[in-house]
Structure 1
């Protein structure tokens, strides 16, 4: 069993090397993804550029999960489980057709509910209408 301090140091170093700046602990990363998904559950209220920027946390997560440096730490099992739970919540929000084929699943589809501005951006960008959160 590896030391938790060692794991947290390696996690931080890996995230920083991958370009992460604010989210440097497993709790930060999971919380960032969970917070984004919670916003989407109630209808993400900003524009498509902010939506895509905030969705970028899932790209960072993919790189973390694929990291050879972190792969063998037992603590990553908890990280994977937590991410899996949040992933399931996000998948449940997404419309079925892919609007961005060839992208990872979290980028290929869009939430079925959005704030007015994002809903309008989805129509403009992808020609897809979604429910508007009031």
Structure 2
């Protein structure tokens, strides 16, 4: 693992191009909120959805830089949200989402899944790209 504390990682990633010096708590909360929204049926459009997925990217990058004790403290919450995300999404190797946003590296598995519940603008966009999922009324 890395050798940096939370504040250092926030600043380092900001210097690498992230729009602000996020904290681990900020990004864990954002990831959990996104998972909540996906479970309910994400109501925004494809561009907001792909933007929202970047909170998980930040965590992925930060984990490589953070002190072990910080990673160990936050990993249970991240893993719980990851499992909920997997349950609320369908794996399609990024085919549907990839029509709108190029999937990053293969280890960023969340980019290779789409919500199981396809609703609103996001649902219409993903269905147009071949995604198969449930409508809210089918659940």
Structure-1-length-normalised TM-score: 0.79
Question: Which range moves more in the overlay, 77-86 or 28-37?
Answer: 77-86
Residue 41 of structure 1 contacts residue 113 of structure 1 at CA under 8 Å; is this kept in 2? yes
**Corresponding position of 1:88:** 83
Contact 1:116 1:133 in 2 (8 A): no
Deviation at 1:20, TM superposition (A): 3.0
Which stretch shows the higher mean deviation, 113-122 or 21-30? 21-30
Aligned-pair Cα RMSD in Å: 2.3
CA distance in 1, matches of 2:19, 2:77: 21
The 5 Å alignment of 1:11-90 reads 11-22=9-20, 24-67=22-65, 70=66, 72-90=67-85
TM-score, L = length of structure 2: 0.77
Check whether the contact 1:44–1:118 (CA below 8 A) recurs between aligned residues.
yes
Report how many residues are paired: 125
Task: Write the deviation string for residues 84-121 of structure 1: whole angstroms up to 9, x where unpaired.
Answer: 11111101112143343874310111111132221110
- Deviating beyond 2 angstroms after TM superposition, the runs of 4 or more aligned structure 1 residues are 6-9, 17-23, 96-104
SS of equivalent to 1:113: coil
Q: Distance in 1 between matches of 2:11 and 2:68?
A: 14
- Cα displacement (A) at 1:21: 3.3
1:83, distance to aligned residue in structure 2 (A) = 1.0
Alpha-carbon offset, residue 50 of structure 1: 1.1
Unaligned runs of 5+ in 1: 1-5
